[in-house]
Amino acid sequence: MFRKLLLIASLSASSLFALAQNHKLIVGTYTNKGNSEGIYVYDFDSKTAATKQLNVIKNVSNPSYLALSKNNDFLYSVYEDGTNSAASAFKFNALTGAASFLNKEATNGQNPCFILTDGKNVITANYSGGSISIFGIKPDGSLSSIKQNIQHTGKGPDRRQEKAHVHQVLFSPDKKYVISNDLGEDKVYIYHYDANAEQPLKFKSSVKTNSGSGPRHLTFSPDGKYAYLAHEFNGKISAFSYKDGSLTLLQEVETVAKDFKGNIDAADIHISADGKFLYESNRGDANNISVFAVQKGGKLKSVETVSTLGKGPRNFSIDPSGNFLLVAHQYTNDVVIFNRNTKTGKLTDSSKRINVGTPVCVIFGK
The pLDDT tens digits of the residues spanning 29-55 come to 999 999 999 999 999 999 999 999 999
Tallying the residues shown for the chain, one arrives at 366
- Please tell me whether residue 298 adopts helix, strand or coil conformation: coil
In percent, the amount of the chain with pLDDT more than 70 equals: 95
* Residue 202 burial (CB count, 10 A): 14
Mean pLDDT of the 311-330 span = 97
Whether the predicted pLDDT of 263 surpasses 80: yes
Instruction: Record the pTM.
Output: 0.93
Main-chain dihedrals φ then ψ at residue 84, nearest 5 degrees: -95, 10
Tell which residue, 39, 6, 44, has the closest CA to residue 24: 44
Over 90: is that where the pLDDT of 362 sits? yes
18 has pLDDT over 80? no
Average the pLDDT over 15-41 and give the result.
84
Write the pLDDT tens digit of every residue in 186-240.
Answer: 999 999 999 999 999 999 999 999 999 999 999 999 999 999 999 999 999 999 9
pLDDT given at position 8: 41
In this prediction, residues 11-23 reach a mean pLDDT of 54
Can you give the pLDDT at residue 20? 66
Q: Using CA atoms, how far apart are residues 36 and 23, in angstroms rounded to an integer? A: 22
Residue 73 pLDDT > 50: yes
**Residue 13 confidence (pLDDT):** 40
Per the prediction, the chain carries an average pLDDT of 94
Q: What is the pLDDT of residue 366?
A: 74
Residue 144: predicted pLDDT: 98
Question: Across 185-333, where does the E strand assignment appear?
Answer: 187-193, 201-208, 215-220, 226-231, 237-243, 246-253, 266-271, 277-282, 288-294, 300-307, 313-318, 324-329
